[in-house]
Amino acid sequence: MNIDAPALEVHNLTASYNRKPVLWDIDFQLPQGQLIGIVGPNGSGKTTLLKNIMGLMEPDSGYVNLFGKKLNDIRERVSYVPQRESVDWDFPANVFEVVQMGRYRKNNLFKRMTARDREITTQSLEKVNMLEYAKRQISQLSGGQQQRVFIARSLAQQADLYLMDEPFVGVDAATEESILNLLTEMKKEGKTVIIVHHDLQTAYEYFDWIVLLNTRLVASGPKDEVFTSNLLQEAYGGRLTVLSRIGDLIAKKDFPIRESNFKEKEGQGDG
Partner 1 sequence: MDKLLEFLSFQDPNVRTVTFGTIFLGMSAATVGTFAFLRKRSLVGDAVAHAILPGIAIAFMLFQTKNPFVLMSGALISGWIAMLLIEHLSKATKLKPDTAIGLVLSVFFGIGILLLTSIQHSGAGNQAGLDQFLFGKAASMTRSDLLAYGIVALILLMAVILFFKEFKVLSFNPDFAQASGLPVKRLQFILSTITVLAISIGIQSVGVVLMAALLITPAATARSWTESLLVMMVLAAIAGGLSGLVGSYISFAAPNMPTGPWIVMCLSFLALFSLFFAPKKGVVARIRQQQQNRKKILSENLLKTFYHLRENNPSSRTFSREELLEKRPFSDTEYNTALGRLRKQFYLIPEGHNWSLSEKGYEEAKRVVRLHRLWEMYLTERMRLKADHIHPNAETIEHIITPEIEEQLLRELDYPETDPHHSPIPYPRK
Binding site for partner 1 (CB under 8 A): 51, 54-56, 72, 75-76, 78-80, 82, 86-88, 91-94, 97-98, 101-102, 104-106, 109-110, 113, 137, 139, 153, 157
Tell me how far, at minimum, the Cβ of 241 lies from partner 1, in Å. 26
Q: 196 and 38 in contact (C-beta within 8 Å)?
A: yes
Tell me how far, at minimum, the Cβ of 49 lies from partner 1, in Å. 14
Of 90 and 266, which has the nearer Cβ to partner 1?
A: 90
Of 139 and 181, which has the nearer Cβ to partner 1?
A: 139
In the three-class reduction of DSSP (H, G, I as helix; E, B as strand; rest coil), residue 245 is classed as helix
Of 3 and 56, which has the nearer Cβ to partner 1?
A: 56
Distance, in Å, from the CA atom of 16 to the CA atom of 78, rounded to the nearest integer, reads 23
Of 3 and 101, which has the nearer Cβ to partner 1?
A: 101
In sequence order, which residues have a C-beta less than 8 Å from that of residue 264 and are 6 or more positions away? 11, 12, 61, 62, 63
Tell me how far, at minimum, the Cβ of 54 lies from partner 1, in Å. 5
Distance, in Å, from the CA atom of 155 to the CA atom of 233, rounded to the nearest integer, reads 36
Give the Cβ contact number of residue 7 at 10 Å.
Answer: 24
DSSP 138: G
- The one-letter amino acid at 207: F
Phi, psi of 189 (to 5 degrees): -80, 5
Distance, in Å, from the CA atom of 51 to the CA atom of 40, rounded to the nearest integer, reads 16
Of 53 and 210, which has the nearer Cβ to partner 1?
A: 53
Tell me how far, at minimum, the Cβ of 24 lies from partner 1, in Å. 23
Tell me how far, at minimum, the Cβ of 107 lies from partner 1, in Å. 9
